[in-house]
């Protein structure tokens, strides 16, 4: 997403709704809608949230699970006081 935000008034949005929505959809740039010159609404492109498996799935097999590292017989930390 770019740092710049497109701006338009409510009246202009009403007249060119589909054009503005297509721009937001295609570019990913949000659209700031103003009312009498003041910011009123921001329209963003929808992006589906990724599941935990989609984000970390490839890493799952690269880690070992330890239930309680303090009770491990092969602890790197040796005896704890």
Task: Give pLDDT tens digits for 14-58.
Answer: 999 999 999 999 999 999 999 999 999 999 999 889 888 888 887
pLDDT grade for 62, boundaries at 50, 70 and 90: confident
Domain ranges of the chain: 6-60
C-alpha 15 chain-centroid distance: 30
CB 37 within 8 A of CB 12: no
Q: How confident is the model at residue 59 (pLDDT cuts 50, 70, 90)?
A: confident
Alpha carbon of 35 to those of 2, 15, 48, 64, 77: distances in Å?
23, 14, 29, 56, 63
The length of the chain, given as a count of residues: 81
Read off the tokens for 36.
């009498």
6-60 has which fold?
A: YefM-like fold (3.40.1620)
Answer whether residue 67 shows pLDDT above 80. no
- Is the pLDDT higher at 59 or at 70? 59
Give the pLDDT score at 15: 97
């Amino acid at each position: 997403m770019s740092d710049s935000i497109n701006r338009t008034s409510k009246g202009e949005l009403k007249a060119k709704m589909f054009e503005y929505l297509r721009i937001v959809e295609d570019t990913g740039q949000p659209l700031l809608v103003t009312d009498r010159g003041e910011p009123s609404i921001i329209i963003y492109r929808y992006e589906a949230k990724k599941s935990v498996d989609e984000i970390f799935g490839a890493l799952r097999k690269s880690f070992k699970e330890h239930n309680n590292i303090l009770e491990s017989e092969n602890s790197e930390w040796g005896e704890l006081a």
